[in-house]
Structure 1
């Protein structure tokens, strides 16, 4: 399993980084068969988010360290090194660019974006 990390380097320039999630086979819900699970991480709080079609967020840093789990719709993000990526249903993005220029975000198409947002400790 993979996810995308958005972070700012020491100069404040934001970048994308692809990361792998290690999954280990575990007997998590006996007597059901084993499944594959990552290590648990601390979370501060979570919320659900609807970003309306046509929404545009000019350059901004993320207000908290957080994960976005995209459920529907499509969103495009640009980081300050110039790279642009699109995220749709099933995408997971870790936002850590709390300083620097941040990133640009826009909803693509006519469908609202629905996401679960999980904030994590800094």
Structure 2
């Protein structure tokens, strides 16, 4: 059975040349059918990068709101449970739930006239939100949509 390679959608938070942050819907689309190694059966893999990373899990309490800030490092964020939102300086607010993915690449944002810089985020609803965060090497700082092709 031959199938077309899958695509995986994610939100990409990024900073433009004026220091204003935005969000763009992107897709990972360079999947290849092969084993991850050992005796693992072939599967669709999109190998983005290799290098220094940190992995952490966060649980944001119900009602939590993180005021305006940049992502501390370029990072992939996956919602494990609950819901959260990310709002960028351009006014776009995206809500995400379990299984949804975002890339935080808003390093280099500049404070605007309202005192906003980067993005703000918080929980949605009356339950906590659990996130898995994979922080990357600073070489990916300020990555723009389309950087992961």
TM-score (normalised: structure 1): 0.91
Stretches of structure 2 lacking an aligned partner (at least 5 in a row): 1-7, 110-116, 139-149
Cα RMSD over matched residues?
1.5
Q: What CA deviation, in whole Å up to 9, does each residue of 1:73-97 have, x standing for no partner?
A: 1001111111111011001111011
Q: What CA deviation, in whole Å up to 9, does each residue of 1:82-117 have, x standing for no partner?
A: 111101100111101122210111211111110111
Superposition deviation, residue 9 in structure 1: 0.9
Superposition deviation, residue 32 in structure 1: 5.1
Matched, 1:111 2:92: no
Q: Which residue of structure 2 aligns with residue 15 of structure 1?
A: 22
Q: Which residue of structure 2 aligns with residue 37 of structure 1?
A: 45
How far apart, CA to CA, are the structure 2 residues paired with 1:66 and 1:86? Answer: 18
Deviating 4+ runs (over 4 angstroms): 29-32
Pairing of 1:62-77 with structure 2 (within 5 A):
62-77=71-86
Match of 1:121 among 134, 137, 143: 137
Pairing of 1:38-53 with structure 2 (within 5 A):
38-41=46-49, 42-53=51-62
Query: What is the number of residues matched between the two proteins?
Result: 122
